[in-house]
Structure 1
Amino acid sequence: MYIPIHFKIEDEEKIFEFIEKYSFATVYSTHKGEPYATHLPLVLNKDENVLYGHFARANGQWKDIENQSVLAVFQGPHCYISPSWYEITDAVPTWNYVSIHIYGMINIIEDEKVIFDSLDEMVNKYEKPDSPYDLKKVDSKYNEGLSKGIVAFKMAITKMEAKAKLSQNHPVERQELIIENLIESSNQNDLEVASLMKKNL
């Protein structure tokens, strides 16, 4: 990923924080000689330095994904930045965003306990704390049947690239003008970008 120095995120904890918050990723690999992508949630295990996930068994991407470098892209908030917000007229529009690229090697998981534990962790991550749903309480035979329809994997992280393009290359006064305009929006992406920009000032 092209990352000008102004926009590079080097703090590993901050990168992990983004991954955990914006965890619905796109996994890219070469499948049958062509680029191929699947959109799916991934769960980070910082202690193991891996990402856990699963493909639908009918999705052939898993069949040749081992033994190649794989890319997982996590897209954070993003929004259009209008030059009409600037204090000058000689300017061009741009786009602010956060994006995390994780490279690694994928191993298919066969161990049924590891598969269940990874699914249980994923469910617990997204269910509300007061949710009555508990994967452990679902009938074991039903779970076994569902498990046959997926292929679980873990992705060992080999490299991380992280970019937060939040107008850091502009004067502080202009950044403040951008924030003022973004916080007037009802769009969630606009508001999240404004919040991130405030933290960077």
Structure 2
Amino acid sequence: MYIPEHFKIEDDEIIYDFIEKYSFATLFSQHNGEPYATHLPLILNKDENALYGHFARPNEQWKDVENQQVLVVFQGPHCYISPSWYETTKAVPTWNYVSIHLYGKMEFVGDRKVKFDSLNDLVNKYESPDSPYNLNDVDPSFIEGMSKGIVAFKITITKIEAKAKLSQNHPVERQELIIKQLENTSKQDEIQVASLMKKNLKKCK
């Protein structure tokens, strides 16, 4: 990923927080000699420096992906930035966004307990705290049958690229104008980008 120095995220905790918050990712590999992508939720295990997830078995990406160097993209909030918001007419439109790229080697998870634990982690992450649903309460034979329809995997992370393009290359006064415009909307991406820009400005001041 192309990352100018002023857009680079180097703080691991910030990177991990983004991965956990925006965990619905795009997984790229080579399949039948062509680029191929699957969109799916992934769980980060910081202790193992790894990602866990699963393919639907009919998705044939799994058939030739093991031991490949794969790319996983986590996309954070993003939005259009209008030059009409600036204090000058010498400007062009741009796009603000946060994106994390992880590279790694994939291996399949055959161990039943590890496979169940990775599924359970997904359920626990996305179910609301007051939800009555618990994977441990489901009939084990039903879980076993459903598990035959998936291919669980682990990606050991070998490289991370992280980018936050939040108008850091513009003067502070202009960044503040952008934030004001973004906050004057009900669109969630714009509001989230404005919040990230404010946090970044505070760190710089």
Cα distance in structure 2, aligned partners of 1:42 and 1:185: 31
User: Which residue number in structure 1 is paired with residue 108 of structure 2?
Assistant: 108
User: Which residue of the partner structure matches residue 98 of structure 1?
Assistant: 98
Distance in structure 2 (CA, Å) of the matches to 1:14 and 1:145: 38
Aligned residue for 2:116, secondary structure, equals helix
Give distance in 2, aligned partners of 1:190 and 1:124: 28
TM-score (norm 2): 0.97
| Aligned residue pairs, count | 201
Whole-Å separation in 1 of the counterparts to 2:69 and 2:93: 35
SS of 1:61 mapped into structure 2:
helix
Q: Which residue matches 1:42? A: 42
Q: Bigger CA drift: 63-72 or 168-177?
A: 63-72
Quote the residue 2:29 is aligned against.
29
Runs in 1 of length 4+ with deviation above 6 angstroms? none
2:13 is aligned to 13
Q: How far apart are residue 141 of structure 1 and its match?
A: 1.0
Cα distance, 1:181 vs. partner? 0.2
1:155 aligns with 2:155: yes
Spell out, residue by residue over 1:11-65, the C-alpha distance to the aligned partner (whole angstroms, 9 max, x if none): 1111001000000000000000000000000000000000000000000001110
Alpha-carbon separation, structure 1, partners of 2:117 and 2:37? 25
Q: CA deviation at 1:67?
A: 1.9
Corresponding letter in the other structure for 2:127 = E
Alignment partners' CA distance in 2, 1:96 and 1:139: 46
Identity %: 74
1:68 aligns with 2:65: no
CA distance in 1, matches of 2:143, 2:66: 26
Q: Supply the distance in 2 between the matched residues of 1:55 and 1:114 (Cα, whole angstroms).
A: 15
Which position in structure 2 is the counterpart of 1:59?
59
The separation in 2 between residues aligned to 1:55 and 1:49, in whole angstroms, is 20
AA in 2 matched with 1:46: K
List runs of 5+ in structure 2 lacking aligned partners.
none
Rounded to whole Å, the distance in 2 between the matches of 1:187 and 1:25 is 21
Shift of 1:90: 1.2
Residue 66 (structure 1) shift = 1.2
Q: What does residue range 76-91 of structure 1 map to in structure 2 within 5 Å?
A: 76-91=76-91
Relative to the length of structure 1, the TM-score reads 0.99
**Cross-structure match for 1:196:** 196
Question: Which AA in structure 1 matches 2:150?
Answer: I
2:102 aligned counterpart, secondary structure = strand
| 3-state SS of paired residue (1:114) | helix
How big is the shift at 1:107?
0.3
